Amino acid sequence: MRVVISIGGSVLAPDLDPERVEGHASVVEALAREGCEIGAVVGGGGVARDYIGAARDLGANEVQLDQIGIDVTRINARLLIAALGPQVDPKVAHDYEDAGDAIRRGDISVMGGVMPGQTTDAVAAAFAEYVDADLLVYATSVDGVFSADPKSDPDATKFEEMAAGELVDVIADIEMSAGSSAPVDLLAAKLIERAKMRTIVLDGTDPKRIEPAVLRGEHSGTDIIPEGGDEPTYWAQ
Ligand SMILES: Nc1ncnc2c1ncn2[C@@H]1O[C@H](COP(=O)(O)OP(=O)(O)OP(=O)(O)O)[C@@H](O)[C@H]1O
Ligand SMILES: O=c1ccn([C@@H]2O[C@H](COP(=O)(O)O)[C@@H](O)[C@H]2O)c(=O)[nH]1
């Protein structure tokens, strides 16, 4: 089974805690031991937002702000690489071909951002499509996709499952400026829809939640059901 895991920066590195990063690396390694081929994409989190906020006050434009965000995602990717064992490609992959080559060699490949105008959510979706992944997992700071932002709307309800087209509709109005927050960004949602990619959005603050989701489909987040895609198959069955 080939799986791409998107690890939000707010989940991997809300602060610089080596034990937390080690926890995420352990889950990735455990999945690799189960025989999964893994691509990981790491976000920028609060540190990226702090830099973006400061540079915005200094007058940087949105593309310059995105470039700052990309730099932070790549630093976070280096943190994850530092915690992974010898099976990881030590380079942060800057494009899908390099990342795909590493996976085909049997390495775990880690990416951060690649280009302005999107977030690492879109990187993960494109990476998953490029390597024909069986599953794409978003380990984010919220336990799934809600009808509205649960941080600002107490009446927001969680989708246990939804079609990729519904995901596009729910997040269409979320702003796309550098450093914005969304469980999955709009471009990622469109790529998931196009690729008919089986996708899970879950709370990754405890990385142990990722392993049962990948191996057995057990999680409390949101399943994005591909329209016209294959039935899900689980590695452990
Ligand atoms: N409809 C929605 N459903 C769920 N979460 C939403 C929704 N709309 C906005 N959000 C916000 O999206 C946030 C999740 O994305 P966020 O970008 O903060 O974290 P991440 O995925 O860990 O990535 P990173 O921190 O690297 O940007 C949540 O904190 C939540 O407040
Ligand atoms: O391909 C990419 C990835 C990221 N960015 C910019 O970085 C920040 C932080 O990334 P997150 O995935 O949200 O953690 C993002 O808001 C963008 O501003 C990018 O431009 N391109």
Q: Is the pLDDT of residue 108 over 60?
A: yes
Q: Does 157 appear as a known binding residue? A: no
Q: Is the pLDDT of residue 230 over 80?
A: no
User: ipTM of this predicted complex?
Assistant: 0.98
> Is 138 a domain residue?
yes
How much distance in Å is there from the Cα of 113 to the middle of ligand 2? 6
> Is 236 a domain residue?
no
Residue ranges around ligand 2 (CB below 6 Å): 9, 43-45, 48, 65-66, 69-70, 73, 113-116, 118-121, 123, 178-180
Residue closest by Cα to atom 12 of ligand 1:
182
> Is 235 a domain residue?
no
Closest to 227 in 3D by CA, of 201, 199, 202, 185: 199
Computed from CA positions of residues 11, 54, 113, 94, in that sequence, does the dihedral angle turn out positive or negative?
negative
pLDDT digits (tens, 9 = 90+) for 145-178: 999 999 999 999 999 999 999 999 999 988 889 9
Residue ranges around ligand 1 (CB below 6 Å): 8-11, 43-45, 140-142, 145-146, 148-151, 170, 174, 181-183
How much distance in Å is there from the Cα of 46 to the middle of ligand 1? 11
> Is 3 a domain residue?
no
The CATH number given to whatever domain includes residue 51 is 3.40.1160.10
Q: Does 107 appear as a known binding residue? A: no
The predicted model gives 223-227 an average pLDDT of: 90
**206 vs 234 pLDDT, higher one:** 206
pLDDT digits (tens, 9 = 90+) for 6-43: 999 999 999 999 999 999 999 999 999 999 999 999 99
> Is 228 a domain residue?
no
> Is 74 a domain residue?
yes
Q: Is the pLDDT of residue 233 over 80?
A: no
The domain tally of the chain equals 1
The stretches of 139-201 forming alpha helices (DSSP H) are 164-171, 186-195
Residue 42 pairs in a beta bridge with: 7
39 close to 4: Cβ distance less than 8 angstroms: yes
Q: How far apart are CA 123 and CA 138, in angstroms?
A: 11
How much distance in Å is there from the Cα of 149 to the middle of ligand 1? 8
Which region holds residue 111: left if phi is over 0, alpha if psi is between -120 and 50, else beta? Answer: beta
Q: What are phi and psi of 64, to 5 degrees?
A: -60, -40
Mean residue pLDDT of the chain comes to 95
Return the structure tokens found at 91: 């380079």
Q: Is the pLDDT of residue 57 over 70?
A: yes
Q: Is the pLDDT of residue 237 over 50?
A: no
202 close to 209: Cβ distance less than 8 angstroms: yes
Q: In the chain, what is the straight-line distance between the N-terminal and C-terminal CA atoms, in Å?
A: 12
> Is 177 a domain residue?
yes
How much distance in Å is there from the Cα of 113 to the middle of ligand 1? 17
Q: Which atom of ligand 1 is nearest to the CA of 121?
A: 21
Length of the chain: 237
Q: Is the pLDDT of residue 231 over 90?
A: no
**Residue 141 lies in domain:** 8-218
> What pLDDT does residue 173 have?
87
pLDDT digits (tens, 9 = 90+) for 82-95: 999 899 999 999 99
**Residue 235: band (very low, low, confident or very high) from pLDDT cuts 50, 70, 90:** low
**237 vs 106 pLDDT, higher one:** 106
> Is 229 a domain residue?
no
